[in-house]
Structure 1
Amino acid sequence: MLVVLYSEIQIFSTLTHKFMVPGHTHYKCDYDHSAIERQKKKTPVEIAHPRDWYQLVRSTSHTNKFDVYEIKSGDFYDFGLILKQHCKFGGIQYKTLNEAEPFHILNLKRSGHPKPAVTFDKLYNGPCKITKERKKDLIDLLPLIDPMFHSFHEGLLTDEKLRNIDPDK
């Protein structure tokens, strides 16, 4: 499905996002993910820390080498303010990838006037936190992880207000 989001203020003119139908498409990213999985199967190195993933992806021989950027919690911004305060959306146009099919329009007009200046706050003001339950699960797995990485897992911060979310629901 092809989705085009458009706005009545000029933060952006259009944003095109393609949602693929599982099992019916093959895009470059599918090949990239497959190359990474093949490299993981060939590599005897155990993945015990996020940096291990960075190195594995960097080492994947592929038509084009992957650029890997290590992001920190301070690299995330809260774009939710666009919807809440700053932007008056016109709507979303959507259609399947069938070129002959016309776009359908989902109207998202909101009342009020957009504010002229848009600034984005950082989404996190420090390291990201996890739930106590998730940390307990990770600590229970420490016997399976190289002791060199125990302090990383033991040092993960928790937040009482967070709740586990099942991504499949």
Structure 2
Amino acid sequence: MGNALLDFAINHKKTITQKYLEVGHTHMECDSVHANIEKKVKNKPIFLPSFYLTATETARSKPMPYLAKWMNYDEFIDYSDSSKYRFKSLRAGTNKVVDLRAIKYTPGGEVLYKTNFDQEWQILPQRMIQVAAPITWNKLNKEPRKISASKFKHLQELKPVIPKDCHAYYDNIPHFT
């Protein structure tokens, strides 16, 4: 995952900070986002995946609505080709993953880390592998993923309780026959 985040930071000229939970501290910023979205969808009819996107965007109004992006099957990237990795592994010296508190990936290709939130960022003590830039990654899926024939059949059986204007979605789900 670190190689994928570093590649994104370089290509999109963004700094990414990846934070880890501290032992005994189980709250992260994303927890409140998740709770807001759960509240929004609780006891609400959800007939289409797009309903979740709308619920996510409207789960918070202040200071601003959440941003959500619909992802299509062809937008997912396969980062499993290790020959394109800039690092064989992201190890912070003698520290173990459980010792890390944060990792920062910069547009300049630096990877920095902290083992304590109060300390200054330290450069990852590893050399980057030189790879041809920009890296071209393969798409994860060449076509939409198919569901099983039995799952498709079960979804068709639900149509009597789903509004008719949603039926076309269920009729067109890619499936095995």
The question of a shared fold, defined as TM-score above 0.5 by the shorter chain, is answered with yes
**Structure 1 CA distance for aligned equivalents of residues 23 and 32 of structure 2:** 15
Q: Which residue of 2 aligns with 1:68?
A: 68
Q: Which residue of 2 aligns with 1:140?
A: 157
- Note the C-alpha offset of 1:21: 8.0
Compare relative contact order (CA 8 Å, sep 6+) and give the higher one, 1 or 2. 2
Q: Secondary structure at the match of 2:132?
A: coil
**Structure 1 CA distance for aligned equivalents of residues 60 and 158 of structure 2:** 31
**Identity rate of aligned residues, in percent?**
22
Q: Which residue of 1 aligns with 2:141?
A: 124
The alignment yields a C-alpha RMSD, in angstroms, of 3.7
Q: Which residue of 2 aligns with 1:80?
A: 80
Q: Select 1:152's aligned residue among 141, 144, 169.
A: 169
Change (3 A) 1:31 1:79: same
- Note the C-alpha offset of 1:48: 0.4
Structure 2 alignment gaps of length 5 or more: 11-15, 92-96, 102-114, 118-128
Change (3 A) 1:60 1:6: closer
**What is the one-letter code of the residue matched to 2:140?**
L
Moved more, 51-60 or 21-30: 21-30
- How many pairs are equivalent? 139
Moved more, 130-139 or 67-76: 130-139
**What is the one-letter code of the residue matched to 1:125?**
K
Q: Tell me the alpha carbon deviations over residues 111-158 of structure 1, each in whole angstroms, 9 at most, x when there is no partner.
A: xx9763531122223333222232233223223322221221121112
Structure 1 alignment gaps of length 5 or more: 101-112, 161-169
